Amino acid sequence: MTAVIDRLGGDRPVFSVEFFPPRDDDGERQLWQALRDFEPLDPAFASVTYGAGGANRDRTLRITGRIAQQTTLVAMAHLTAVNHSVTELRKVIDNYAEAGICNLLALRGDPPGDPLGEWVAHPQGVHYAEDLVRLARSLGDFCVGVAAFPECHPRSPDAESDVRYLVAKLRAGAQFAITQMFFRAEDYLRLRDRVAAAGADMATVPILPGIMPITTQRGVQKMAELSGCTIPVAVRDRLAAVGDEPAAVRQVGVDVASELCERLLAEGVPGLHFYTLNRSGSTQAVLARLGMAPGRPAAVVTH
């Protein structure tokens, strides 16, 4: 089993991809097609999300286990503390280990039903992501990552406290972090500077920027609302200029993501983490534009 951290320490930037458990058979076929599309490109890892309150727990385990066992991809499963006792969390982590998964992304998680609602800890559970990190690291040889927020977590009172929470997770044993989606390189760079100023060793604890190529107007608006991400006026104007034409919106999404990634790579990021929405086309187009998908055309794929 390969640890994610071992794939992030090379002399060239890497990329990784994220998926969510599909709701039906058609969605599952789409997911596996995307996985097979990415497999020849050798991403550093492929992660699978975990629904609010553990709603998709079994599907996350099944899909991540299949990735680990039936593909050449390095698999990473998400894990959240919502609605789980410590006993249940131990069982979930044990199940991941039995499925051959050694990489976990430890998240406190969003409240079920309303991601922006009040977060209430399980009475026999853990309160913070750093507690979840400690639990996972205590149960075996797991490589554990955590979330980071370039524009601060929606519940953080300010940037300084937000960085303290992130550094606490790293000191609890997290080995890398992945950021929430963002569109302004400066937000990521300021986060990186704050983390370094707080005493974290940026050479050994990589922070991967999270990139979501825009595929639909409605989709990016929804994701931005849920994550607290700002869509810059310049990006809104570019989207408004093409209206609701699907191919044109996807092309703008590829252009915006490529420009952001080019700036980040120039600033020395260790890799790029793509929120794929279970499709491969736009992410592959960005990778081709960046020269990170050898032999693939730079044109937008239509799915």
| Catalytic one of 18, 88, 130, 186 | 18
Residue 50 scores a pLDDT above 70: yes
Burial of 148 (0-12, 13-18, 19+ CB in 10 A): buried
Q: Give first-to-last CA distance, the chain, whole Å.
A: 32
Torsion angle of the four alpha carbons 119, 120, 126, 129, in this order, in degrees rounded to the nearest 10: 0
Residue 55 scores a pLDDT above 50: yes
**pLDDT bucket at 175, cuts 50 / 70 / 90:** very high
Please answer whether residues 75 and 18 qualify as being in contact, where contact means their C-beta atoms are separated by less than 8 angstroms. no
pLDDT for the residue numbered 15:
97
pLDDT for the residue numbered 116:
59
pLDDT digits over 58-113, tens only?
888 889 999 999 999 999 999 988 878 899 999 999 999 999 999 999 998 766 65
With tokens 């639909």, the residue in question is 216
pLDDT for the residue numbered 234:
97
Tell whether the torsion through CA atoms of 120, 75, 65 and 223 is positive or negative: positive
* DSSP label of 155: T
pLDDT for the residue numbered 300:
46
CA distance 50 to 85: 16
What average pLDDT does the segment 198-205 reach?
75
What average pLDDT does the segment 236-261 reach?
96
Residue 95: CB atoms within 10 A of its CB come to 15
So what CATH class is 4-290? alpha beta
Which helix (H) or strand (E) element contains residue 19? strand 14-19
pLDDT for the residue numbered 114:
59
With tokens 């700002």, the residue in question is 230
pLDDT for the residue numbered 125:
73
Q: Is 267 a catalytic residue?
A: no
Tell whether the torsion through CA atoms of 295, 300, 301 and 303 is positive or negative: positive
CA distance 231 to 249: 15
- For residue 263, CA distances in Å to 176, 240, 257, 274 come to 21, 24, 10, 16
Torsion angle of the four alpha carbons 120, 123, 127, 130, in this order, in degrees rounded to the nearest 10: -140
What residues are paired with 178 via a beta bridge? 147, 208
Residue 125 structure tokens: 């559970």
Alpha helices per DSSP H over 150-245 = 159-171, 185-197, 217-227, 233-242
pLDDT for the residue numbered 90:
94
Which helix (H) or strand (E) element contains residue 14? strand 14-19
